[in-house]
Chain A
Amino acid sequence: MTTHTSTAARGGGDSSAPARRLRQPPRRSSGLPDWVVPYALLLPGLLVIAALLLYPLYQMIDMSFHKVGLAQIKTTNPRPAEFVGFDNYTHIFESDLFWPSLRNTFAFAAVTVALTLLVGTLVGLLLNKLGKKMSTFVIVGIMAAWATPPTAQAIVWKWLFDSDAGVVNWALNLLPDWLSELVFGRSDWSGEPWFNDTLTLYFVLIVAVVWASFPFIAVSVLAGLKSIPSELYEAARVDGSRAFTTFRKITFPLLKPVFSVLMVLSIIWDFKVFTQLYLLAGGTVNREAFNLSLWSYAEAFSSPPKMGLGAAIAVVLTGILLVITFVYVRQIVKTEDVR
């Protein structure tokens, strides 16, 4: 959208309407020359972004080509870092942790993004169908899941899936034996350790993250649905359209911009998941469970610290994310949203 600022665009200039009064006030009591004002307003923010985001970004790339250890980061007399070229990168690509953590990162993001969008959209559609009281009730409920801080999320789900006193194992034991045998091939769940195996650990992680992130999708989809004029649905009903067709032909196309934003946001959030994984996996002891964020952290902050190596992993992660989200940034720029 474009906000018109020139007087010409607002009815002066070449239009037949009488020219508006000049925007310039007749007397300016104080101040800087006009052209300086926006830059002056922008300066503090720009400095913060440059110092805390752009410079570290540059430094991260720089570090990834150096060997940075304890001697380089100590506060008194740090030694200069040794340039090692692409050594850090060859090291990570040849490491036996590279493929597992890349696989964990991608598989987790793919499954979680898909599930979050699916559950979120279904709940959004449901909220739109429910009566006013019922939908407020459900919205307040899902708000509780959404508001839970990531650390508390991880801790609560770890508790629910606790091997001895967890509710999940208790509930699975309630299933009739034949059913449990049929579905899972076992009937006794007492003491089942969910966090020892990478696959079940990630299963719990997916459940926890989907639980915490579907409310945002649902409420956003609901807001989008509310903005669709009801005449369109009436017309569809008159034409005898079935529910699914109506969704595919009316709802989905109109909500497409909302969906694409939600998808990109979910990808960004799920690709780099750190807090919940760190807590569920119990820190950096379980190397099989690493994703790229956790691996980078583990290399840089366990002893001896290998900061250069950690930075190289962070560069790979950032690169992947920027490539994925590039399309989205271009789309926003194209649709003149930044003009």
Chain B
Amino acid sequence: MNDGLTRKKFGRVALNGAGIVVFLFAVFPVYWMVATAFKPNDQIFTTRFNPIPSPPSLDHISRVFTKGVAGHSIWQYLLNSAIVAVVTVVIGAVFALLAATAVARFRFRFRTSFLILLLIVQMVPAEALLISLFTMVKRLGMYDQLIGLVVINVGLTLPFSVWMLRTFVAAVPKELEEASWIDGASRFTTFWRVLFPLVAPGLVATSIFSFITTWNEFAYALTLINDQGKYTMPVALQFFVGQRSTDWGGIMAASTLMTIPVLIFFLLVQRRMVSGLVAGAVKG
């Protein structure tokens, strides 16, 4: 009896211990990024181990804002990233909502073909299309412009957005719309006053997903932008890496700043994101 109890207790301790190990493995690199951002240089470039910045210094943080990198303050790159991501999300949300409503609410010819097309284009690696999209953007005169990145990112995020959003549209009971029709509301009114408010939470989740994808996007931002004033954050980061030495304090400060919005969004939508990714992929 007593033995069983201690064994149970031991099991609990072991499980919690494993939980803490997982937590540390996951968090330590992120902690180290933030800690390095707050360390003065003599605590960074050393073979000694300084677990906590003491005293914490704001040098790197203020330096990336005032002096910046590649000739511009980090504000400029954050702003560029935000512009590209927000415009992409707004345009993408409208297109995705229309298409998702079509496939979730109507039966029509080519509906199945369209869904299979969505699945297949999601399998095509974005990096593989880099070369042809580069020549296309160049031909259209959108090379070296943020609008070029917006267009590309709308294309890259749309298939997944439609795929995820259609489950949210399908979850709204059809009877509500029918009631509205019977009351004589027009198609647009029904969509706007009945369907839209109910799909809105799903639309927010999908939009956040597109935002993160666009915010993080590196390969296209690297190849389609040449003007340093138009770099997005992911591309600007690598300019802290010099020929001989790397400005670790600066790059960690910039990385931390870039991670914050994503982390906030993640914590907001984590539950929906998992169900969206998995359910959206497994079930209809």
Contact = CB atoms under 8 A, between A and B. Distances in A.
B229 interface: no
B90 interface: no
Contact of A332 (B114, B119, B187): B119
B16 interface: yes
A219 B118 CA distance: 25
16 contacts: A23-B178, A35-B108, A53-B121, A53-B159, A56-B133, A130-B15, A134-B19, A140-B267, A143-B270, A151-B218, A155-B252, A162-B248, A220-B278, A274-B127, A278-B222, A317-B127
Contacts of B75: none
A28 B95 CA distance: 25
Interface of B: 15-16, 18-19, 22-27, 29-30, 32-33, 36, 44-49, 94-96, 98-99, 101-108, 111-112, 114-136, 138-139, 141, 143, 151-152, 154-156, 158-159, 162, 170, 174, 178, 181-182, 184-188, 215-216, 218-219, 222-223, 233-234, 237-238, 241, 248, 251-252, 255, 258-259, 262-263, 265-267, 270, 274-275, 277-278, 281-284
B215 to A, nearest CB: 7
A73 B126 CA distance: 21
Contacts of A126: 15, 18-19, 22
A147 B263 contact: yes
Interface string A61-77: 00100001000010100
B158 A138 contact: no
A219 B273 CA distance: 10
A271 B126 CA distance: 12
Interface string A14-49: 000000010101111111000101110110111011
Contact of A160 (B32, B119, B181, B251): B32
A139 B136 CA distance: 42
A223 B274 CA distance: 8
Contacts of B33: 148, 152, 155-156, 159
Given A45-B158, A48-B158, A144-B27, A165 B125 contact: no
A5 to B, nearest CB: 6
B284 A339 contact: yes
Contact of B22 (A3, A41, A123): A123
Chain B interface SS verdict (over half):
helix
A216 interface: yes
Interface string A304-339: 000100110011011001100100010011001111
By Cβ-Cβ distance, the 5 closest A-B pairs, closest first, are A52-B155, A45-B99, A38-B106, A41-B102, A272-B125
A4 to B, nearest CB: 9
A178 interface: no
A99 B213 CA distance: 31
Given A27-B184, A42-B103, 8 more contacts: A25-B181, A35-B108, A126-B18, A131-B16, A144-B27, A145-B30, A149-B258, A317-B127
Nearest to B136: A56
B237 A155 contact: yes
B278 A314 contact: no
A91 to B, nearest CB: 16
Contacts, number: 329
B121 to A, nearest CB: 5
Interface residues of A, number: 115
A7 B265 CA distance: 41
A43 B52 CA distance: 56
A236 interface: no
Nearest to A58: B132
Interface of A: 1-3, 5, 21, 23, 25-31, 35, 37-39, 41-42, 44-46, 48-49, 51-57, 59-60, 63, 68, 73, 75, 123, 126-127, 129-131, 134-135, 137-153, 155-157, 159-160, 162, 164-165, 167, 170, 190, 211, 215-216, 219-220, 223-224, 257-258, 261-262, 265, 268, 271-272, 274-275, 278-279, 282, 293, 296-297, 300-301, 307, 310-311, 314-315, 317-318, 321-322, 325, 329, 332-333, 336-339
A271 B125 contact: yes
A322 B120 contact: yes
A229 to B, nearest CB: 18
A279 B182 contact: no
B237 A333 contact: no
Contact of A338 (B112, B121, B136, B188): B112
A233 B3 CA distance: 24
Given A155-B251, A223-B275, A261-B281, A53 B267 contact: no
B25 A149 contact: no
Contacts of A137: 19, 23
A338 B284 contact: yes
B89 to A, nearest CB: 14
Contacts of A142: 22-23, 26
B219 A52 contact: no
A23 B274 CA distance: 35
Given A152-B33, A156-B29, A296 B128 contact: yes
A111 B274 CA distance: 24
Contact of A42 (B23, B98, B125): B98
A271 B128 CA distance: 11
A55 B139 CA distance: 14
B99 A307 contact: no
Given A134-B16, A134-B19, A279-B238, A339 B112 contact: yes
B116 A318 contact: no
Contacts of B251: 155, 159
A315 to B, nearest CB: 8
A300 B26 contact: no
B132 A138 contact: no
